[in-house]
Structure 1
Amino acid sequence: MSKILAFDYGTVRTGLAETDDLKMMAFGLDTIPTKEIFSYLNQYLKNNTVDVFVIGEPKQMNGLESESEVFIKEFIKKLDSTYHIPIVRFDERFTSKMAFDTMIASGIGKKKRQNKGLIDKISATIILQGYLDTL
């Protein structure tokens, strides 16, 4: 069975989410330092088959690219040339806010809500579930 892997890419940390083998639901996977992303993916891909990478596409409210898009495009080039797995972009506007609201709604305490890594992992999950909902 294969999965879909999603990224909430950041210059410091990257949140990751994966689907179940039936590709019906998204689950938070991990948050890792961005500088370690390729060593993490090498290990992950030894044990998992991935059909598609979904990468969040940050946009401004007017629909234009955000400033972080420059870094994401470089990441995508390296990702594509390294793994040759199809890459899909998905609008990630409001995912950090939605992730924070999800933490509040689920009863996560104030101290844990300050964990930006947790927000990144939840954001990746929201990106992936949004993508799945369009299929």
Structure 2
Amino acid sequence: MKRLMAFDYGTKRIGIAVTDPLQIIASALTTVHPEEIWDFLTKYMLTEAIETFVVGKPLQMDGTDSESAMHILGFTRKLKKLYPEIPVVEIDERFTSKMASSVIAQSGKKKGKRQDKGLVDQVSATIILQSYMETGSFMR
């Protein structure tokens, strides 16, 4: 089976999470700089098949796009252009960074590790992916 891949897109870092091939477990994969994402995906997809890309979409409290949504739009457009055979799904990512920080703190990590923004982005991507999986919108 193919994996699901999720992105917590930021202008400084992109947190990436994937499922196992059976699409049961969402796990943090890595964090990459936005300039390196396309090379990373090319190399990753040489060995792993992706069924769906899930992109966290930053929304305001009232459900409208946030200021950073324009960056997500450019990213999702390029994903669709480079990988037209792979669906791109956007889901609400409000509060994922706060949730990620909380999960990291509860895990017992030392303060320095809890403040590692790359780790927060990876865990945020994992939360985005897990949220998508819980919606049942994808069917294996």
Pick the TM interval, shorter chain.
over 0.9
SS at match of 1:101: helix
Residues 108-127 of structure 1 aligned to structure 2 (within 5 Å) = 108-127=109-128
Q: What are the residue-to-residue correspondences of 1:1-135 with 2, within 5 Å?
A: 1-84=1-84, 85-135=86-136
* Distance in structure 1 (CA, Å) of the matches to 2:75 and 2:135: 24
Q: Distance in 1 between the 2:55 and 2:78 partners?
A: 13
Between the two proteins, the alignment pairs up a number of residues equal to 135
Following TM superposition, by how much is the alpha carbon of 1:21 offset from its aligned partner in structure 2, in angstroms?
0.9
Distance 1:112 1:9 in 2: 20
String of CA shifts for 1:62-109, please: whole Å, max 9, x gaps: 111011110110111111100111000111010000000001110011
The percent of aligned pairs where both chains have the same amino acid is 49
What is the rounded CA distance, in whole Å, between the counterparts of 1:73 and 1:53 in structure 2?
14
Point out where structure 2 has 5 or more consecutive residues left out of the alignment. Answer: none
Letter in 1 for 2:108: G
CA distance in 1, matches of 2:106, 2:114: 11
Tell me the distance in 2 between the aligned counterparts of 1:31 and 1:73. 19
- Report how far residue 120 of structure 1 moved: 0.2
User: What is the TM-score when the length of structure 1 is the normalising length?
Assistant: 0.98
What do the CA deviations read for 1:4-23 (whole angstroms, capped 9, x no partner)?
00000011100000001111
Structure 1 residue 25, shift from structure 2 partner: 1.4
Which 4+ residue blocks in structure 1 deviate beyond 4 angstroms? none
For structure 1, the 5+ residue unaligned runs are none
Q: Which amino acid aligns with 1:52?
A: T
Question: Aligned Cα RMSD in Å?
Answer: 0.6
CA distance in 1, matches of 2:35, 2:20: 26
